[in-house]
Amino acid sequence: MSRVPLAIPNIGEREATLMNEAISSGFVSSVGHFVSDFEKRFAEYVGAKYAVACASGTAALHIAMRLADIQPGDLVAVSDFTFMASSNAASYQFAELLLVDSDPESWCMDVPKLRAELERRKAAGEKLPKAIEIVHILGQPADAAAAVELAREYGIVVIEDAAEALGAVWTSGPLAGRHVGTVGDMGAFSFNGNKIMTTGGGGMFTTNDEELARRAKHLSTQARQPDRGYLHDEIGFNYRLTNIAAALGVAQLERLDGFVAAKRAIAKRYNEAFAGTEIQTPPQLDGQESTYWLYSVQVPASRGAGARDELQDFLAEANIESRSLWRPLHMQPPLKDEARVGGSVGEDLFARGLSLPCSTDLTPVDQQRVIDRVLEWLAGSGE
Ligand SMILES: *Cc1c(COP(=O)(O)O)cnc(C)c1O
């Protein structure tokens, strides 16, 4: 039986053509027209005023933390249930964290829980966050409208970690027609190899604020001034994307609508197959459209504590790759002493969460193999 991978990049002729063009131009590094083309087209795609290409999604987030003026000891509120890159960006600034549990419906930050904690802290005269970092996990939009409203009341910044959710949108409500990563003060996307589109490695910083965009570009290029000598007016980073990677990005962006449609079609087939079973399918909330970047289910609690690993092993025996969801940040050794808000939603998502194969070129035949195997396990033959 051939292997069904979890999620592999989809790279074709067009990508090779544009990358060869970048190589032949001699501009292989961070100067060259593909970088600015990519930024311009990306900004248009998501509907942000400005986009600044970065070496990674983590780099884009780190720049956002710098621009939010996060200093050592400042507090950053961040989703507890996420990939660790989300909080690493704050930790690079020596921030303290306030880890906020997930809402069981969206799996993303429980903003009302954060609101209650801010009210408590304010009344008690305790430290308040300087930034709220929401994370649109697995392609699922977080409640950005509520986060922005809360942040405005407290005069703090909203950073959107949209690394996993490029293409996800709101379809009704206050954010109707908007893309994730464009409604907070700053947003960050990732083009790592396993994301919905890739540049090999790379990221994008987005904002609607001209000054933040100018400063992001400046910080990403060693804060070097356009001066005949080497004049740097602050401590910057080497966080620029290369022209070769940007050429790959331009080609992938042309195909992004197709990738998003493929992910949604895969999700629909899984959802239909698992309807009426004990498998819990991913969030599908009114007024928003997930991209289902990594299609992830919750195995039934009734099957006991080891059920997630059992299903993963059962799939692996049939040469099907799957992956557990992340351990919440408060369970990560370097973050064990950080402040927390909320209960055990993230822990439960971790304990029972499994991502299933969902490459954009997954064939219906291979997907059916995955479905059949999951149903077989559910029926009890996985014991
Ligand atoms: C992938 C990812 C990042 C970081 O992106 P890189 O490009 O790998 O640095 C940040 N946050 C989340 C939630 C991610 O999944």
Predicted local confidence at residue 26, as pLDDT: 87
- 161, 166, 205, 325: residue to mutate for ligand 1 pocket, most atoms within 8 A of CB: 161
The two beta strands, 186-190 and 296-298, are: unpaired
* CA–CA dist 69, 131 (Å, integer): 9
For the Cβ of 360 lying below 6 angstroms from any atom of ligand 1, the answer is no
Question: What is the per-residue pLDDT across 172-210, written as a single tens digit (0 to 9) for each?
Answer: 999 999 999 999 999 999 999 999 999 999 999 999 999
Task: Just list the catalytic residues.
Answer: 195
Ranges of residues in the chain with a pLDDT under 70 are 381-383
Number of CB atoms found within 10 A of residue 238's CB: 10
* CA–CA dist 279, 293 (Å, integer): 19
- 75-79 sheet: strands from edge to edge: 50-54, 203-207, 186-190, 157-161, 131-135, 75-79, 96-100, 339-341
CA dihedral 255, 260, 266, 272 (to 10 degrees): -150
134 CA from centroid of ligand 1 (Å): 13
190 CA from centroid of ligand 1 (Å): 6
Mutual angle of helices 364-376 and 307-317, in 10-degree steps: 130
For the Cβ of 205 lying below 6 angstroms from any atom of ligand 1, the answer is no
The one-letter code for the residue type at 368 is Q
Nearest CA-CA partner of 260 in 166, 336, 328, 340 = 166
Question: CATH number of 13-254: 3.40.640.10, 3.40.50.300, 1.10.3720.10, 1.10.230.10?
Answer: 3.40.640.10
Q: Which two tokens stand for residue 308?
A: 């997630």
Question: What is the per-residue pLDDT across 266-312, written as a single tens digit (0 to 9) for each?
Answer: 999 999 999 999 999 999 999 999 999 999 999 999 999 999 999 99
Predicted local confidence at residue 28, as pLDDT: 84
Query: Do the domains 13-254 and 256-381 sit in the same CATH topology, yes or no?
Result: no
Q: Where are the domains of the chain?
A: 13-254, 256-381
For the Cβ of 58 lying below 6 angstroms from any atom of ligand 1, the answer is yes
Predicted local confidence at residue 381, as pLDDT: 52
For the Cβ of 325 lying below 6 angstroms from any atom of ligand 1, the answer is no
Global pTM value: 0.97
Task: Please give the CATH number for the structural domain made up of 256-381.
Answer: 3.90.1150.10
189 CA from centroid of ligand 1 (Å): 7
Q: Which two tokens stand for residue 286?
A: 């009114």
